[in-house]
Amino acid sequence: MKIKPTSLLACVVSGLLVLTAVLSYNNFTRQWKDDLIIPSKHVTTVKWLSDYLPWLKGTRGDSRVFIIDSGVPGGTFGLLGGTHPDEQAGWMAAIILVEKLQLKSGKMVIIPHANNSAMTHSFPQEATPQFIHIPTDDGAVRVFRGGSRGTNPVDYWPDPEVFSHYQTGQKLSGEEVRNLNRNYPGRPDGQFTERVAHAIFKVLIDEGVDINLDLHEAWPEYPFVNAVGADQRASDIASLAALDLRMEGVEIGVEAVPKKFRGLSYRELSEYSNAMGLLAETPNASQGRIRGITDETLVIKGQDEFYVTATQLGRTFAKFDEHGWPLSKRVARHIALINALARTYTETYPEKPIEFENMPTYDELVDTPVGHFLNSPAAVAGN
Amino acid sequence: MTEFAHDAQMYHTAQIVLAGMTVCCLALWIVGRALFKVNIPLALNLFISAAVGAVVGGFGIPWRHLIEGPMYYIYINLVIFTALIMLQVMKENGQMEAIAWDILVCFRQRPFFLFMLLMLMVYFPGMVTGVGAAAVLSTGVIVAVILRAVGLPPLETGAMLAVWSTFGAAAPPVNLPALIISGGLNMPFDGFTQILLVLAVPPGLFAFWYLGYKYFKVITPEEINRILPVPQRAFLLQPYLPILTILVIFLAISFFPRQMPDLVSPLVFMIGALVAFASGRRINFFMASSRAMGGRLFGVVAVFFVVGSVVQVMTLTGVKGYLVISIFTLAAVSPVLLYLMMGFGIPLLGGTITHLGVSAVLAVPFAFALLTSNTIVIVSCLAMFCMMSQIIPPSALGGYTSQDVVGLPSYTPILKRCTVPALVAIGWTIVVMIFAKQFAEIFVPY
Per residue, the 3-state secondary structure of B265-313, as one string, reads HHHHHHHHHHHHHHHCCCCCHHHHHHHHHCCHHHHHHHHHHHHHHHHHH
A104's enclosing H/E stretch is strand A102-105
**Cα dihedral sign for A130, A135, A140, A144?**
negative
Q: Does A58 touch chain B (CB under 8 A)?
A: no
If you count DSSP H runs as helices and E runs as strands, how many of each does chain A have, helices first? 10, 14
CA-to-CA separations, B434 to B336, B373, B439, in angstroms, rounded: 11, 9, 9
* β A107-111/A76-80 pair status: parallel
pLDDT at A12: 87
Lowest mean pLDDT among A93-97, B32-36, B429-433: B32-36
A156 DSSP assignment: S
Q: How high is the mean pLDDT of chain B?
A: 89
Cβ(B85)–Cβ(B292) under 8 Å? Answer: yes
Task: State chain A's maximal CA–CA distance in angstroms.
Answer: 77
Q: Output b/e per residue, A8-39; b: 16+ Cβ within 10 A.
A: eeeeeeeeeeeeeeeeeeeebeebeeebebbb
**Residue B338: pLDDT over 90:** no
Q: Give the Cα separation of B307 and B46 in Å (integer).
A: 8
Please report the domains of chain A, with CATH numbers, ordered by start residue. 35-373 (3.40.630.10)
> B47 near A330, Cβ under 8 Å?
no
ipTM of the complex as predicted = 0.92
Closest CA–CA distance from residue B54 to any residue of chain A (Å): 11
Instruction: Give A381's contacts (C-beta < 8 A, 6+ positions apart).
Output: none
Q: What's the mean pLDDT in B173-185?
A: 84
Return the DSSP state at A154: T
- The residues with which A356 forms a beta bridge, in sequence order, are A103
What CA–CA distance (Å, rounded) separates B444 from B192?
7
Give the separation between CA A189 and CA A166, rounded to whole angstroms.
Answer: 12
Q: How far is the C-alpha of B135 from the C-alpha of B398, rounded, in Å?
A: 8
pLDDT over 90 percentage in chain B: 52
Length of chain A: 383
Q: What is the pLDDT at residue A267?
A: 93
Alpha-carbon distance A284 to A318, whole Å? 9
Query: How many whole angstroms separate alpha carbon B370 and alpha carbon B367?
Result: 5
Query: Tell me, what amino acid is at A50?
Result: S
Q: Which amino acid is at A1?
A: M
pLDDT band at B1 (very low <50, low <70, confident <90, very high): low
- Segments in chain A below pLDDT 50: 1, 382-383
Distance CA B118, CA B142 (A): 9
Mean pLDDT, residues B309-336: 89
- Helical residues (DSSP H) of B108-192, grouped into ranges: 111-129, 132-137, 139-149, 154-170, 176-184
How many Å apart are CA A163 and CA B188, to the nearest integer? Answer: 9
pLDDT at A5: 56
Q: Which of A196, A240, A195, A213 is nearest to A335 (CA)?
A: A213
What single-letter amino acid sits at A26? N
Nearest-Cα distance to chain A for B51, in Å, is: 14
Question: What CA–CA distances, in Å, run from B56 to B18, B51, B64, B394, B442?
Answer: 10, 9, 17, 23, 52
The pLDDT of residue A1: 47
DSSP B340-381: HIIIIIHHHHHHHHHHHHHIIIIIHHHHHHTTTS-HHHHHHH
Which residues in chain B touch residue A170, judged by CB atoms under 8 angstroms apart? 188, 190
Question: Which of A33-37, A337-341, B13-17, B234-238 is least confident?
Answer: B234-238
- The residues that bridge with A216 in the sheet, in sequence order, are A281
Q: Interhelix angle for B154-170 vs B111-129, to 10°? A: 50
Question: Sorting pLDDT into bands at 50, 70 and 90, what band is B425?
Answer: very high
Whether A306 and B318 lie within 8 Å, measured CB to CB: yes
Residues with Cβ within 8 Å of A141's Cβ and at least 6 positions away in sequence, in order, are: A133, A134, A135
Chain B residues whose beta carbon lies within 8 Å of the beta carbon of residue A18: none
Query: What is the C-alpha to C-alpha distance for residues A230 and A266, in angstroms, rounded to an integer?
Result: 7
pLDDT average, residue stretch B160-164:
96
Cα nearest neighbour of A157 on chain B: B75
Say what the pLDDT of residue A3 is: 52
Among the listed residues A267, A246, A245, A273, the one whose alpha carbon sits nearest the alpha carbon of residue A255 = A267
| Per-residue pLDDT, B36 | 82
- Chain A, residues 4-23, CB within 8 A of chain B, namely 4-5, 20
Contact B72 A122 (CB under 8 A): no
d(CA A292, CA A286): 9
Contact A125 B360 (CB under 8 A): yes
Q: Which residues of B108-128 are buried (b: 16+ CB within 10 A; e: fewer)?
A: beebeebbebbbbbbbbbbbb
**Considering only residues 54 to 83 of chain B, which have any Cβ-Cβ distance to chain A shorter than 8 Å?**
63-65, 67-72, 74-75, 78
Helix, coil or strand: residue A111? strand
For residue A27, the one-letter residue type is N
DSSP assignment of B372-418 equals: TS-HHHHHHHHHHHHHGGGGSTTT-HHHHHHHHHHT-S-SHHHHHHH
Q: What is the CB-side half-sphere exposure of residue B428 using CA atoms within 13 A?
A: 23
Q: Which of B51-55, B193-197, B301-305, B420-424 bottoms out in mean pLDDT, i.e. has the lowest?
A: B301-305
Of the candidates A153, A173, A309, which has its C-beta nearest B182's C-beta? A173
| DSSP 8-class letter at A257 | P
Confidence band for B253, pLDDT divided at 50, 70 and 90 = confident
Q: Which of residues 257-316 of A touch B (CB under 8 A)?
A: 260-261, 289-295, 297-298, 301, 303-306, 309-310, 313, 315
Length of chain B: 446
The counts of H helices and E strands in chain B are 24, 0
Write out residues 87-106 of B within 8 Å (CB-CB) of A. none
**pLDDT score, position B365:** 79
CB contact under 8 A, B183 and A126: no
Residues of chain A numbered 210-229 and touching chain B (CB < 8 Å): 219, 221-223
Highest mean pLDDT among A42-56, B162-176, B359-373 belongs to: A42-56
- Rounded to 5°, angle at Cα A372 from A366 and A375: 140
Contact A175 B183 (CB under 8 A): yes
